[in-house]
Chains A and B, each alone.
Chain A
Amino acid sequence: MRRFSLSSLLTESLKGHRGWGRQWRDPQPKPAYDVVIVGGGGHGLATAYYLATVHGITNVAVLEKGWIGGGNTGRNTTIIRSNYLYDESAALYEHALKLWEGLSQELNYNVMFSQRGVLMLAHNLHDVQSFKRHVYANRLNGIDNEWLTKEECKEFCPPIDISGSLRYPVLGGALQRRAGTARHDAVAWGYARGADARGVDIIQNCEVKGIRRDASGAAIGVETTRGYIGAKRIGVVAAGHTSTVMAMADVQMPLESYPLQALVSEPVKPVFPCVVMSNAVHAYISQSDKGELVIGAGTDQYTSYSQQGGLHITTHTLDAICEVFPQFTRMRMLRSWGGIVDVTPDRSPIIGKTPVENLFVNCGWGTGGFKATPGSGHVFAHTLATGTPHAINAPFTLDRFRTGRLIDEAAAAAVAH
């Protein structure tokens, strides 16, 4: 792997950048691998990377039906935070956040992780109580999160309107200063480059069409558009398409796939210093390094694989943005798009074993998967390498829907995530 640095960049700039090679190879699939990962998004690529770096397992293929990072990895609003309520979620997302903090250096790829703070606004007394519950729980879990008065919110993020004229006036907010955003595409590319350099085969335009099982029912490989590929273990990390892939092994999942929309404005000079989430009025907003306001909307109400939702979802989100940030009505929407998010009944992920031997799954991240990318890959790699879950993903079993041991952050706090 050609190391990226200022000096290599300067050296190349004198040579017309002719010396840069491929960031990852374009290999032909081998007949078999120790581990096959289905899905070349951030989570799948991170899994491959940590299999190679932490567990020394490099005979690994990542199969991507399109191009890597082309699904939800490249379609989200890049918010990263760990101020979750329950111990299980807090541990998972904090694990990820700690990995984010060193990720550019670890990957030798600038993923532009920017700890500019995520501020969640409270608009009613119920929000206030709920956010304080989070703040206190986070404190006891060693996760930073603090309560701000509305005046402190305004000071931290000047575009917020804290006057009483709002339909739901801002009463205060919870701020996680270590939270922030990252450059989503770079995360996929950085993990791909790092995994590739250690021998992982990243195989694009390779769609899985079936899962082959032996007489005992154990999974032994995948049928793909590029032929059969054997595998000792298979990890399905297919986000919105998980139900479809798991059905190939006759496993029905507690998942539904919804369109999730987002949009950006035209680029402007720095005007928005942090990330603001406002659950009571359904809006997330930050400003990218390119200058665009990046705005997240909610999901549509019906399942769909179309990557397209209704205009009313967009307008409702912008209603909220312009309500809280009245100076933005003359800004213009430049581009809107949709992803397909896989949602579990408790809106927490499933990371672990399945009823089929040698088949593992990492799914159900709903609207909040990007922030978990490094942590998710790290613990899933552990699960695939050892055959047993890491302590952090142990609670996130498929079995919890049978026992009732749900991890329902949204129900607990009415906080979307």
Chain B
Amino acid sequence: MAQPFRLSRGGRIDRTRPVRFTFNGRTVEGFHGDSVASALLANGIHLVGRSFKYHRPRGILSHGPDEPSALLSVDRGPGRIDPNNRASVVEARDGLKTLSQNHWPSLEHDIGAVNDLLSPVFVAGFYYKTFMWPRKFWDKVYEPFIRAAAGLGKAPAVADPDRYANRHAHCDVLVVGAGPAGLSAALAAARTGKRVILADEGPEPGGALLHDVTAEIDGRPAAEWLSATLAELDSRENVILLPRTTAFGYYNHNHVALAERVTDHLPSPGTAPRERLWQVRAGEVVLAGGSHERPLVFADNDRPGILLAESVRVFVNRYGVAPGRRIVFATSGASAYAAALDAKAAGLAVTLVDLRTESECGPELARLKAAGVEVLTGHTVIGAKGTKRVTGLIVAPVDRAGRCGAHRVLECDCVGMSGGWTPAVHLFSQSRGKLAYDERLDAFLPGTSAQAERSAGASKGTYDLAACLQEGFAAGAAAAGSDERKSFTASPTLTGFKPVRAMPTDADPTKVRAFVDFQNDVTAKDIKLAVREGFHSIEHVKRYTTTGMATDQGKTSNMNALGIVAGQLDKTLPGVGTTTFRPPYTPVTFGTLVGPARHALFDPIRTTPIHEWAEEHGALFENVALWRRAWYFPKSGEDLHAAVARECEAVRKGVGIFDASTLGKIEVVGPDAAEFMNRIYVNPWLKLEVGRCRYGLMLKEDGYILDDGVVARIAPDCFHVTTTTGGAPRVLAHMEDYLQTEWPDLKVFLTSTTEQWAVIALQGPKARAVIAPLVDGIDLSPEAFPHMAMRQGTICGVPTRLFRVSFTGELGFEINVPSDHARAVWEAIWEAGQQHGITPYGTETMHVLRAEKGYIIIGQETDGTVTPDDVGLAGMIAKAKKDFVGKRSLARPDVVATGRKQLVGLVTDDPKLVLDEGAQIVDDPAQPIPMRMLGHVTSSYWSPNCGRSIAMALVADGRALQGGPLHVTTPEGFARVTVVDPVFFDPKGERIHA
């Protein structure tokens, strides 16, 4: 019979809509509205997993996000398999495949269970005491063995086909949790007209109202109040209600992160994202996240069939499922009585065992007795019977001194245990609010706030329904700036419990295994061992025993662990300390956090106006900072080297065209522009004539080169600055910083014009001939327009700032045109150049050509530790300037000392050998290791125009070594080289002035 443990009536499931999924291959039937856990229980399936260390059979402990044991691998189709899903929060739907974890060969028969027999050895921290001999065995033998045993499920093996979304939102009031307190808060806030977001982790808002079937609010059933409240919230445009949405992180300045699960519950996800990250900046936050029930700590309290008492109530009332037919409730407090009453009302056989004496109990005792339930007060739980399913609970009377009387076995197929309640203060603690211990409630409660938030309801230790509603309403109103209050009447809630750390027992404590942290297999004994070994801070105990470190992060275990430590040390709970809660509240997929930020959206891609042209002409591209730059233009059959050789030759012999648009450009404008330039650059600027260019070098204040580039003076009060491709943002930031914060008196504006000017570099002896017919208003003759000059006119009718500059050593122009016209101008030049054999070239050829001339590239010859003198550019420094950024640092003792690395050229003995860039340089390759390294190769290429390899290097006192031999590392050993001047081609520099 399907669903033998489904109750004949009740629950919020839709019995008209059956769903089928599989568990370990077996078909499980449930109803729409079921969780995987409730559907498994409806079918009598309690054994759902094996524990981390001892491979003990484990069942379902809880109905909610605190579930430590029932962790399943869930398969939602190809590529959609992931591990460690809590059965209690996965919604049952057609077609799901669920699998238990951490066993071999099967869940029923698990070889790993032998660990359970070895448990006397595998105590807390045992691995710190052994596995040390022989030394090599750790990472070869022991560790692989331990690693294979550890970890629960299997990581996904293939890329995820799902997509994830991100959303930023602002609101006046964010309410976390849609239980009675949260709903009431949202209602109060919403009625003020403020923007409200109400987020709840469950599929259906309502919290405890979803399973409290007997409560009344203001004289009507709680369920009616719930639907009326939801209807009102739903009708208000200022309210966003987010079900299936967990507030998992509370960050600075009321930045709260929510994870919304959008499609996992749907049979077919369609085109919607699987999950969505909401980053909410809230004016005020109301935390109403409820509380978590504590398990009782007794021998074998981890047997399948032993649940939290309130969870039994949830399964019965909300899901219409009997977790067992004969249920024993074991408790030290009142709330389990409500569960017992509801189970009894559902027709189940119920017994209740209470550690408290009759006089310690409240009205709950009489009510349960009146319902005809046997209640054993003053009784402890000695242990549980059964292995793969609980078959009985061993109980005994216990006196004030903790002495146990005669054992009695209560036969059962389900236990509902309750050791009291722990408010969910996770988000409050994440917000850096200070927790305060409340002895009466045996709980840490929100104390002093650090941010604009307030707590309400059970998360603040308020458990009574009417009180929760009132407190929530007041919190919501206050968060919305209103002082409105509202009183509610509701059925009184059974509250109050006697804190118990571990149940009194007469068993040999060294033999008893009473679990505190179910998932990590940490027992009370382990915690006591840690204390004995000197781990007294709760943080030490956690780290030594791993309690509270599992996927539930101690939601069910922390208070019991803390209590046991405090008991051992005879301290109060706050004396041992509470651990700091860290995000996330419950685990969040990486996908949610990443959203769409992958591949092309990982970082913006910047392209130039010439990009498509380059693509059409077969360019391959390289990433340079955020830019895609044409790397080289291979013709069919050409590799990098062949293409670059051809491109290099074309530039030197004819003309090449190069897209230099990625160069950073900054317009420096204002009456004090020249003075500003003087302070920022090492060079002098005051006397630079309008229409002339200068190579500028810029330092950081520590004296090291920051950037370089050609600068043209457009007008007495205007400079056109260029920077390196990658350096543009930091140069502008550097300039702005000094301008705004050090020299606010200077009348200067800085404007980035990188995107406004496209730059077409035309280089080679025929460059002038190509553009001559296209240019108007500029005399291109060498006399009128010499090297390092800039003229304004038009090209193809488009206004241009035409620079006669060269990074190749050839006659060359850099044609700045407005970006919108760049492609048209480029194509016109391309057409005009056809008769001259114009050749497009990319960054690789640009690198080779400049290296042939010994021109440095920032970031290649320099690396953040290089001064102007190191790269032979000391001559750029204006001697007459008293100060510029970085000048003082150039006088520091170590910067003026000998032995600094200096830029030189290197030629290999074997002209065909191209050295590795980054290769290290020594004078004696026969010296013992560690060798004295003199420097390294910064640039190295095959130079088609030199007919040999060339290299640039930074070498200690290198300029003094000219002509001498050195040795450079190669993959195989060393290569002999000779130090030369780093100008390999046209050393007199005649071609550039052609």
Residues of A within 8 A of B (CB): 4-6, 8-10, 13-18, 20-26, 66-67, 70, 74, 87, 91, 102, 104-105, 108-110, 112-116, 123-126, 128-137, 139-142, 161, 165-168, 180, 183, 185-186, 189-190, 204, 265-271, 281, 287, 289-291, 306, 308, 310-311, 314-315, 318-323, 326-337, 345, 400, 402-406, 408, 410-414
Contact = CB atoms under 8 A, between A and B. Distances in A.
A102 B532 CA distance: 28
Contact of B623 (A104, A141, A168, A319): A168
Given A308-B252, A327-B157, A411-B865, A130 B918 contact: yes
B1 interface: no
Most buried by B among A116, A161, A267: A267
Contacts of B365: none
Given A167-B605, A319-B598, 18 more contacts: A13-B120, A15-B510, A18-B510, A20-B533, A23-B535, A70-B537, A109-B128, A136-B916, A140-B929, A140-B969, A166-B599, A204-B537, A271-B154, A289-B147, A314-B593, A330-B82, A331-B82, A404-B894
Given A269-B155, A323-B598, A133 B936 contact: yes
B931 to A, nearest CB: 4
A269 B83 CA distance: 10
Contact of B593 (A8, A74, A333): A333
A229 to B, nearest CB: 21
Contacts, number: 327
Among A25, A125, A410, chain B packs the most CB atoms within 10 A around the CB of A125
Nearest to A124: B623
B130 interface: yes
B155 A142 contact: no
Nearest to A108: B132
Contacts of A166: 599, 602
Contact of A404 (B120, B164, B895): B895
Contact of A310 (B150, B251, B539, B595): B251
Contact of A167 (B138, B603, B918, B920): B603
Contacts of A336: 582-584
Contact of A104 (B132, B162, B593): B132
Contacts of B432: 306, 308
A227 B211 CA distance: 57
B154 A186 contact: no
B942 interface: no
B920 A411 contact: no
Interface stretch (B171-179, B304-312, B856-864): B856-864
B893 interface: yes
A410 B540 CA distance: 34
B743 interface: no
A267 B151 contact: yes
A5 B129 contact: yes
A331 B930 contact: no
Interface residues of B, number: 111
Nearest to A269: B151
A268 B919 contact: no
The 9 closest A-B pairs by CB, nearest first: A291-B151, A16-B510, A411-B864, A133-B918, A132-B918, A404-B892, A22-B534, A332-B587, A4-B129
A406 B865 contact: yes
A412 B863 contact: yes
Nearest to B531: A22
Contacts of B892: 402-404
Contacts of A268: 83-84, 151-155
30 contacts: A5-B132, A9-B130, A16-B511, A18-B510, A21-B533, A66-B537, A67-B536, A105-B135, A109-B128, A110-B130, A129-B917, A132-B916, A134-B918, A136-B919, A136-B920, A137-B920, A141-B929, A168-B603, A266-B83, A269-B153, A291-B147, A323-B602, A330-B160, A330-B590, A332-B82, A334-B551, A335-B549, A404-B702, A404-B703, A411-B864
Nearest to A132: B918
B922 interface: yes
A358 B555 CA distance: 48
Interface string B837-871: 00000000000000000000001100111000000
Contacts of B546: 290
B158 interface: yes
Contacts of A4: 128-130, 132
A230 to B, nearest CB: 26
Contacts of A124: 622-624
Interface of B: 52, 80-84, 120-121, 123, 126-133, 135, 138-139, 143-144, 146-148, 150-160, 162, 164, 249, 251-252, 255, 257, 277, 279, 432, 509-511, 525, 529, 532-537, 539-540, 543-544, 546, 549, 551, 553, 582-584, 587-591, 593-595, 597-600, 602-603, 605, 622-624, 702-704, 859-860, 863-865, 889, 892-895, 916-920, 922, 929-931, 933, 936, 969
B594 A318 contact: yes
Contacts of A308: 251-252, 432
B279 A311 contact: yes
Given A4-B130, A13-B120, A411-B864, A271 B155 contact: yes
A321 B922 contact: no
A405 B551 contact: no
Contacts of B162: 329-330
Interface hub of A124, A186, A269, A314 (most chain B Cβ within 10 A): A269
Contacts of A9: 121, 126, 129-130
Contacts of B933: 87, 137, 140
Contacts of B704: 411
B132 A333 contact: no
Contacts of A186: 128
Contact of B582 (A18, A113, A161, A335): A335
B128 A189 contact: yes
A50 to B, nearest CB: 20
Contact of B138 (A13, A110, A189): A110
Contacts of A337: 582
A321 B894 CA distance: 41
A323 B80 CA distance: 18
A329 B164 contact: yes
Contacts of B593: 314-315, 318, 333
Q: Which one of A128, A323, A332, A410 has the greatest number of beta carbons of chain B within 10 Å?
A: A332
A136 B918 contact: yes
A57 to B, nearest CB: 23
B594 A67 contact: no
Contacts of B930: 87, 91, 140-142
A289 B146 contact: yes
Contacts of A16: 120, 509-511, 525
Given A403-B892, A404-B895, A332 B623 contact: no
A265 B590 contact: yes
A348 to B, nearest CB: 12
A141 B894 CA distance: 24
A373 B529 CA distance: 28
Contacts of A315: 277, 593-595, 597
Nearest to A161: B159
Contacts of A131: 918
B553 A335 contact: yes
A102 B525 CA distance: 32
A287 B703 CA distance: 42
A132 B940 CA distance: 13
Contacts of A114: 138-139, 143
A279 to B, nearest CB: 14
A325 B942 CA distance: 36
